[in-house]
Amino acid sequence: MSKKKELLRRAYVVLAMLVLVAILLVGSTVRISVIERSTWTAKGDSTKLEFVDIEPDRGNIYSHDGRLLATSVPFFDLHMDLNSEPMTDRIFVAHVDSLSIYLSQYVFKNESAGNVRRRLVRSRKAGNRYFLIKKDATYNELTQVKNFPLIRLGKYKGGLIVERKSRRLKPFKSLASRTIGLDRENAQSVGLEDTFDAFLRGAVGKRLMQRVGNGVWIPVHDLSEIQPERGQDIVTNLDMRMQDICQTALQEALIRHDADFGLVVMMEVETGAIRAMVNLDGGTSGGQYRERYNHAVADATEPGSTFKLASMMALLEDGFVDITDSVDINHGRAKFGRRVMQDAHWRKETTVSLQRAFEISSNVGIAKVVDDYYGVGDNAGKFLKQLKRFGLHEKTGIEIRGEGAPEIKDTDHPKWNRHMTLPWMAHGYELEVTPLQTLAFYNAVANDGKKMKPFLVSTIKLGTKVIKEFNPQELRSKIASRSTIAKAKELLEGVVENGTGRNIKSSHYTFAGKSGTTKLEYWVKGQNKYQASFVGYFPAENPKYSCIVMVTNPKKDGYYGGTVAGPVFKEIADRCMGTDVSLMAFNNNPKTDILETLPYFEVGYAPDLLKVLREVDLEFVQKTTNDWVVTLPAEEEGGLVVKNRNIDPDLVPNVVGMGLRDAIFILENMGLKVKINGSGKVKDQSLAPGTKLKNQKILLYLG
């Protein structure tokens, strides 16, 4: 046989074998795609895949002072794929014992390790690819589980399936909760969560999920996953300290007067930034007031006497009157058309100045003047024109859905009554505005005529990157002339000085405002339901904040705006004046009035103490550069020296005179166990200064 022939023969053998292989391959394909087709396609149907949305982390909502108002806290559902391919028998057997011990110790706490092991083994045998470990696990629990035996071998060998969910939390609970709002799936979202949803929401991701059983889906560890994009954060103008002040003050008043509900809105005069917005509704089951509905934004109601400011300003603006002009109030009783108008009570005066009529909130006085000047000829239109100049017919445009629309009748309105509408409008009836709209109007007066748009959100951020900033916006640059504004302010200050707000006058600072007592459902005979309100601003000379307080249907202890809502306003103003550093500047009385004695024997951390001394402009002689110091009287009269307070690391220090924070810091750093008794500064200590240190306990007496 020639070489060539042998080679060819062998080549043909190879060729023949390859042909056989090819036939086998085609045959196998035919077997699967034709003969066994239905078996496999049925299997295919049972392992359906679907892209499932992965919800992104919703953005946070922050307060003006950087505190977290709403955030999404992640939690996890943990399962195990006990049939994952890389989890071989060898691996499973090697780790199942220790895994069972861990699971029974940390997760299935009521179950013995042996029992857990039996369940694991049985589930693996049954081909369970979705063995429940824990639902709603926290992040810490997840990290813990990830370190368990077997599971820590990684995503594939370990078989851990982590599904992430999130829950919305409000760290401040009920504070401003209605303003912050709710993000709901099955109902209309409310508040800022609703308005800024587009920013907060982020972008939904996609994950491929496979159905492995009845209604059970597991993520397919594949490339087909689109990561969700985190939502953006919004920073609000709300100041949690002020919100807290307002809520506390309002809640006390609501309980005291057993009112249906109440609200407070506080606004920064210069910018229109809302610093606090409280809405409290009485519960059906006694006592508990909660944020349930945003009355401040949504409820357009008859404002009552607080509207008299608008009437007065219209009169002043049109040059019809001055505040010194007199008006005959006829003991607080007058007839317009067929109806009798009465003041809140019988008055002994007949003729008073307009200013006085405003201060005592005489319905008759204001109605009469308005009717006298605007009731003649076509003048009614002029009155309405002024109200429109004040912007009282417009919504404020606050960033919350459902702002109530103000209603001010035109003269051609079918219900316009030639005799009665105007006088009643003059003192705040036959028209509707929301509390926020009233506040925005008063704020404009405080802001020298410039009407600012009330707004809740200042910034939208992603991490530290600013996405969008909202600047203060003017609604109207000048609602009235300078002299009208000045007189309006004088009127409002007069209310607190001599009028219905006299009871809440403060000796430390001045504020201005107007009370309102609106009769509700006056068309129902024999019903006495009122809405007490007070709206104003403080400090009067250089207004920083404006504020409206409204208490609806107080049933105990009076119902007048001045006596129900006024004290709430004062409480709020007092606390703001007392705690807001920027407001203290207005209150800078001479030093001697504040300090009765020099701060002798103050012990503390030098940088802190010196900062305080410098801040209050106290002169002192510094005789040490140590960290811990004490202030002592100087040799000459009235002087102050700062001397070293010696702290030896091996001896019990003298902490008498220190604040508790400093004392604990020093003592615990030395390894002492501190126990305390009483409150205040350290008055005495159980271990004498200078004794040797050896892990003792020390008891501090405070006082």
Partner 1 sequence: MKQTLSLKANFYNELKGDLAIWLVIALLAAFSLMAIYSSTETLAYKERGGNTEYYLIKHFLILAVGLCFTYVCHLMYYMRYSILAPLLLYISIGLLICTLLFGPEVNDARRWLAIPGIGITFQSSDLAKIALIIYIARSIAFKQDYIKDFGSAFVPIIVPVLIVCGLIAPADLSSAVILFVTCLTMMFIGRVDMKYISILIVFGIMLLAALIGLGYLFPEFIRVETWTSRINEFVNDPVGGYQIEQAKIAIAEGGWFGVGPGQSTQDNFLPSPYADFIYAIICEEYGLLGGATIILLYLFLVFRCMRLVTRSPKTFGAMLSIGLCLSLVLQAFMHIAISVHLVPVTGLTLPMVSMGGTSIIFTCISFGIILSVSKYIEKVKEKSELAMAGS
Give the interface with partner 1 as residue ranges (CB under 8 A).
Answer: 3, 6-8, 10-15, 18-19, 21-22, 24-26, 28-34, 36-37, 39-41, 43-44, 47, 49, 85-86, 88, 90, 206, 208, 210, 220, 222-226
- DSSP H/E element including 669: helix 660-669
Strands (E) located in 127-240: 131-137, 160-169, 205-213, 216-219, 225-226, 233-236
Closest separation in Å from C-beta 148 to partner 1: 21
Choice between 223 and 581, CB closer to partner 1: 223
The overall longest dimension of the chain from CA atoms, in Å, is 146
Closest separation in Å from C-beta 119 to partner 1: 23
Choice between 31 and 335, CB closer to partner 1: 31
d(CA 703, CA 685): 12
Choice between 220 and 520, CB closer to partner 1: 220
Q: Is 389 exposed, middle or buried (0-12, 13-18, 19+ CB in 10 A)?
A: middle
* CA of residue 443 relative to chain centroid, distance: 22
Q: Is 274 exposed, middle or buried (0-12, 13-18, 19+ CB in 10 A)?
A: buried
- The amino acid occupying position 538 is F
Closest separation in Å from C-beta 297 to partner 1: 41
Q: Are 387 and 421 in contact (CB under 8 A)?
A: no
Structure tokens that stand for 285 in this block: 């089951």
Closest separation in Å from C-beta 210 to partner 1: 7
* Phi-psi category of residue 217: left, alpha or beta, with phi > 0 → left and psi -120 to 50 → alpha: beta
Closest separation in Å from C-beta 535 to partner 1: 54
Choice between 198 and 223, CB closer to partner 1: 223
| 682-685 and 640-644 strand pairing | unpaired
Closest separation in Å from C-beta 38 to partner 1: 8
3-state SS assignment for residue 4: helix
Q: How many Cα atoms occupy the beta-carbon half-sphere of 312 within 13 Å?
A: 35
Positive or negative, the Cα torsion across 644, 645, 646, 647?
Answer: negative
Which residue has 């100041």 as its token pair?
239
Closest separation in Å from C-beta 205 to partner 1: 11
Choice between 4 and 525, CB closer to partner 1: 4
3-state SS assignment for residue 526: coil
Choice between 85 and 412, CB closer to partner 1: 85
Choice between 37 and 482, CB closer to partner 1: 37
Choice between 90 and 525, CB closer to partner 1: 90
* CA of residue 143 relative to chain centroid, distance: 31
Closest separation in Å from C-beta 543 to partner 1: 53
Cβ neighbours of residue 294 closer than 8 Å, sequence gap 6 or more: 178, 179, 190, 191, 277, 279, 400, 402
Choice between 24 and 595, CB closer to partner 1: 24
Phi, psi of 680 (to 5 degrees): 115, -150
Choice between 14 and 688, CB closer to partner 1: 14
